[in-house]
C-alpha cells in the first residue's frame, strides 16, 4: 500500500515538472543530462561497469553532456520505486540502464512519464516510441561457453573428471537466461558430445556467495568439472569453491581470467562499452531510432570469446585452444550464426 501511494504521489508530481529536451532528429544542441540507472552496483558487475564507463567516455568527449549514476542496489523489489523517482525529476534527456528485466520493471513508469525517453542495454522492448533497446545474441555467447565446457570435460586436463557432466550456476531465472543463454550453452556442449549432461542450479539472488559455493561443491561432489557462472557478485563463491578443488569456471560477459588464473578457463564476452558509446553518439546526433529493438551478434564483434589472453592460452590444453579457435573463426566470419528466439 505504501509503495502504491508513493507511486501515485510521484506520478502526480511529474505533471508539474518541466519536460526535458529530447532528440528531435536534428541532434542535441543544448545541455544534455543522462541518468544512468544501475540495477545493482557497478563494482564487480562487468556489464554495469561497462555501462558506466561507456557513458562516461561519451561525456568526456561532449562538454554539454553530464552523467548521473544511480545504483539501485540488490533488492529488486526497490528498483521500480527508485526508477520512478529518477524519472519523476524530469531532469534527464535519456535514462540509460542495462538488464533484461528492466523493460518489464519500467512498464508502469512508461505510463506515468510518457515524455521520458529510455535506452535499454541488454534488454528488449519493441514498438514503444519512448524506448530504444539493444539485445545481445546470447545464444551464441552461451554456445561458445558450452563448447569449451564440453571440450574440457572430455579432456585429460588435470581438473577433468571421468564423468561427462558440466554445470551452470545462475543467480535468477529470466527470459534471456532461459531462452538464450542456457539453451545456447547446452547446444555448445552437446555439439562436442551428445552424452554430456548438465547440472543446473539457481541461487535465488545476485549476492549470496556462500550459497553459490555450497551449490558448486554439491555439483563437484557429483562429478561436475566445469561450471558456467552467471551470478554477479555471488559468482565469487562459485569461483573460490572451484579454485579450492582444482575444477574449472567458464565466465560470462567480461574477461576476468586474472581473478583466478587456471580456474577461470574461458570468458565469453560482451562489448557493452562499445555499444553504449555508439548508441549515445547516435542519440546526440538525433539518429537513434526510438521504438526500435536491435539484436547484435558475434559477427559484428559485440559477442566474443577472450581467446588472446595469455592466462587462457597458458592454462588450457593446446588441442582445445585450437578447436576453440576454429569455432571462433566461424562465428567471427559469419559462417556460423545462431537464431535468437522471440522474447
Q: Give yes or no for a contact between 249 and 260, defined as CB atoms under 8 angstroms apart.
A: yes
pLDDT of residue 233: 84
* Residue extents of the structural domains in the chain: 2-136+272-296, 138-253+300-333
55 alpha carbon, distance to own chain's centre: 16
pLDDT of residue 2: 42
Buried b (16+ CB within 10 A) or exposed e, 267-306: bbbbbbbbbbbbbbebbbeeebebeebebbbbbeebbbbb
DSSP bridge pairs for 254: none
Q: Exposed, middle or buried: residue 60 (CB in 10 Å: 0-12, 13-18, 19+)?
A: exposed
Is the Cα torsion angle 159, 219, 150, 147 positive or negative in sign?
A: negative
Give the pLDDT band (50/70/90) at residue 28: low
pLDDT of residue 158: 97
pLDDT of residue 30: 77
Residue 334, number of CB atoms within 10 A of its CB: 11
CATH 3.30.70.270 fits 138-253+300-333, yes or no: no
CATH topology of domain 2-136+272-296: Rossmann fold (3.40.50)
pLDDT at 6 over 60: no
pLDDT at 145 over 90: yes
Secondary structure of the chain: what % helix, strand, coil (to 5)?
45, 20, 35
Distances (CA, A) of 315 to 131, 312, 322, 329: 43, 5, 13, 21
19 alpha carbon, distance to own chain's centre: 31
- Compute the mean pLDDT over every residue in the chain, rounded to the nearest whole number: 91
**Once rounded to an integer, what is the mean pLDDT over residues 148-163?**
97
**Using one digit for the tens of pLDDT, what is the confidence trace for 204-257?**
988 899 999 999 999 999 999 999 999 988 999 999 999 999 999 999 989 999
Angle among Cα 22, 28, 30 to the nearest 5 degrees reads 100
Give the pLDDT band (50/70/90) at residue 29: low
pLDDT of residue 26: 57
**Using one digit for the tens of pLDDT, what is the confidence trace for 174-217?**
889 999 999 999 999 999 999 999 999 999 988 899 999 999 99
Q: Give yes or no for a contact between 105 and 75, defined as CB atoms under 8 angstroms apart.
A: no
Instruction: Extract the C-alpha cell encoding 211.
Output: 550459497
Q: Read off φ and ψ for residue 26, nearest 5 degrees.
A: -110, 0
| CA dihedral of residues 177, 181, 182, 186 (deg, nearest 10) | 170
pLDDT of residue 174: 86
Domains 2-136+272-296 and 138-253+300-333 share a fold: yes
Give the pLDDT band (50/70/90) at residue 63: very high
Closest CA to 116 of 205, 14, 197, 258: 14
Q: Which residue has the higher pLDDT, 26 or 186?
A: 186
Flag the least confident range among 181-190, 303-312, 324-333, 334-343: 334-343
Cell numbers 588441442: residue: 319
- How far apart CA 324 and CA 98 sit, in angstroms, is 29
Using DSSP, state whether 334 is helix, strand or coil: coil
Residue 66, number of CB atoms within 10 A of its CB: 14
Q: Could you tell me if residue 67 is left (phi over 0), alpha (psi between -120 and 50 degrees) or otherwise beta? A: beta
Q: Give yes or no for a contact between 152 and 194, defined as CB atoms under 8 angstroms apart.
A: no
Amino acid at each position: 500500500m505504501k509503495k502504491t501511494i508513493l507511486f501515485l504521489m510521484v506520478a502526480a508530481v511529474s505533471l508539474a515538472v518541466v519536460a526535458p529536451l529530447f532528440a528531435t532528429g536534428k541532434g542535441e544542441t543544448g545541455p544534455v543530462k543522462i541518468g544512468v540507472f544501475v540495477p545493482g552496483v557497478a563494482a564487480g558487475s562487468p556489464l554495469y561497469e561497462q555501462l558506466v564507463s561507456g557513458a562516461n567516455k561519451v561525456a568526456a568527449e561532449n562538454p554539454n553532456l553530464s552523467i548521473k549514476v544511480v545504483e539501485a542496489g540488490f533488492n529488486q523489489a526497490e528498483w521500480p520505486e527508485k526508477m520512478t523517482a529518477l524519472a519523476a525529476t524530469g531532469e534527464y534527456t535519456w535514462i540509460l540502464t542495462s538488464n533484461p528485466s528492466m523493460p518489464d520493471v519500467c512498464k508502469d513508469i512508461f505510463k506515468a512519464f510518457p515524455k521520458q525517453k529510455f535506452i535499454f542495454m541488454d534488454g528488449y522492448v519493441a514498438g514503444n516510441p519512448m524506448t530504444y533497446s539493444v539485445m545481445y545474441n546470447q545464444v551464441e555467447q552461451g554456445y561458445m561457453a558450452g563448447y569449451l565446457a564440453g571440450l574440457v570435460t572430455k579432456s585429460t586436463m588435470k581438473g577433468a573428471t571421468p564423468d561427462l557432466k558440466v554445470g551452470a550456476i545462475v543467480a535468477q531465472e529470466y527470459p534471456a537466461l532461459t531462452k538464450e543463454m542456457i539453451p545456447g550453452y547446452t547446444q555448445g556442449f552437446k555439439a562436442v558430445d551428445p552424452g554430456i549432461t548438465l547440472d543446473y542450479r539457481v541461487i535465488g539472488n545476485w549476492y549470496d556467495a556462500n550459497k553459490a559455493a555450497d551449490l558448486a561443491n554439491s555439483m563437484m561432489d557429483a562429478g561436475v568439472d566445469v561450471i558456467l557462472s552467471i551470478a554477479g557478485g555471488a559468482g565469487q563463491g562459485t569461483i573460490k569453491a572451484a579454485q579450492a578443488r582444482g575444477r574449472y569456471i567458464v565466465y560470462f560477459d567480461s574477461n576476468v581470467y586474472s581473478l583466478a588464473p587456471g580456474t577461470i578457463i574461458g570468458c565469453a564476452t560482451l562489448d557493452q562499452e562499445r555499444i553504449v558509446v555508439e548508441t549515445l553518439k547516435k542519440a546526440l546526433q538525433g539518429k537513434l531510432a526510438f521504438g526500435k529493438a536491435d539484436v547484435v551478434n558475434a559477427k559484428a564483434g559485440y559477442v566474443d570469446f577472450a581467446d588472446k589472453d595469455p592466462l587462457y592460452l597458458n592454462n588450457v590444453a593446446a588441442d582445445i585452444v585450437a578447436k576453440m579457435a576454429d569455432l571462433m573463426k566461424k562465428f567471427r566470419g559469419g559462417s556460423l550464426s545462431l537464431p535468437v528466439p522471440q522474447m
